[in-house]
Structure 1
Amino acid sequence: MNKTLYLAYGSNLNLEQMVHRCPTAKPVGPALLKDYQLLFRGGHGGSVATIEPFKGKTVPCLLWEITPADEVALDRYEGFPFLYRKEMVKVKLGKKNVETMVYIMNEGRPLGAPSCYYYSVILDGYKSADFDIGILKQAVEDSKEDGNG
């Protein structure tokens, strides 16, 4: 069976949620995506996580090995291809670079803060992976609508 490496940086860092959504997915390990930043887009308190190129920043991620059935479930959850598109990015896994699939939000959605619930789901993922929570808090600050939100 074909397995795909999938890079999670938002709510799919949450192990419980992924087990429920993609029962055959296996966590591979943490990875850092270099020269990207985490942001929230969608506006009106319903903003969700995305990543955008940004020199010098990093996004902590969790690599998953997923089956085609898992990918179908993720496509549905991520609103592919309307809300998110799929791209291939390289990350370091141990000592080697691996190519992995990631969902990135399509252009045109405004910055905005996530709901408390959505934030807490990602926060749980950050805590269980021992990621720097400061990066998540900074993403919320950076996503406040034009600095007025």
Structure 2
Amino acid sequence: MKYFAYGSNLNIKHMQWRCQNAVPLGAYTLQGYQLVFRYYADLMPAQDKSVKGGLWEISPEDEKLLDRYEGYPSLYEKYYDGDIMFYRMLDNARDIELPGLGYLEGMLEGMENFGLSPLEDLNRNLGKSPTQDLVKKGDLLQHAMRLIADAMDIKLLDEDSGTI
């Protein structure tokens, strides 16, 4: 089965720890959605938007492990884009909220694992125009948090460092 990852399951190291039979297939773009955060990454239907992520081949055993990890069916539901499965959080499961730094760091590393540009593709996934800002590797996490906060209209306590 093909599985589309757009959050923490983009991270190859983390995903292969969770699902030993999972095989990364490459980058994939899911049409008709944009990325939001409810502490964890989620997808919201959005016409004319798209989300870049990673495509995995998973076994039936891996699917069961992912179901447990994702909290299916109490927190997430399964959706399909043709033969590609992906999870979406239940609408009333959590409010819009910034991700934790550790979660975001793993997600950004996963974007790089799949050959995606973390800042440019994160910005596009959030429904914004691609950014031309260049940042040093050490600033990536803070800059990404600022992009997310801006897209979600959340005020950071410290704008310079990007901390909540």
Structure 1 residue 135: deviation in Å?
A: 3.5
**TM-score, normalised to structure 2's length?**
0.74
Aligned residue number for residue 5 of structure 2: 8
Instruction: Give the aligned length.
Output: 131
Show CA shifts across 1:35-61 (max 9, x none).
Answer: 2101101xxxxx000111112221112
Aligned residue number for residue 100 of structure 2: 115
* Structure 1 runs (4+) greater than 4 angstroms displaced: none
Structure 1 residue 15: deviation in Å?
A: 0.3
Structure 2 distance, partners of 1:35, 1:70, is: 26
Residue 56 of structure 2 aligns to which amino acid in structure 1? Answer: W
Is it true that 1:103 corresponds to 2:87 in the alignment? yes
SS of corresponding position for 1:74 = helix
Runs of at least 5 residues in structure 2 that lack an aligned partner in the other structure: 127-147, 157-164
Structure 2 residue corresponding to 1:83, chosen from 53, 75, 81: 75
Does the 8 Å CA contact 2:22/2:56 hold for their aligned counterparts? yes
SS of corresponding position for 1:110 = coil
Structure 2 residue corresponding to 1:29, chosen from 9, 26, 30: 26
Kindly name which structure, 1 or 2, has the bigger radius of gyration based on alpha carbons. Answer: 2
**TM-score, normalised to structure 1's length?**
0.81
Structure 2 distance, partners of 1:48, 1:143, is: 13
Structure 1 distance, partners of 2:114, 2:57, is: 16
CA RMSD in angstroms, aligned pairs only: 1.6
Identity %: 38
SS of corresponding position for 1:82 = coil
Higher RCO structure (Cα 8 Å, ≥6 apart) = 1
Is it true that 1:136 corresponds to 2:122 in the alignment? yes
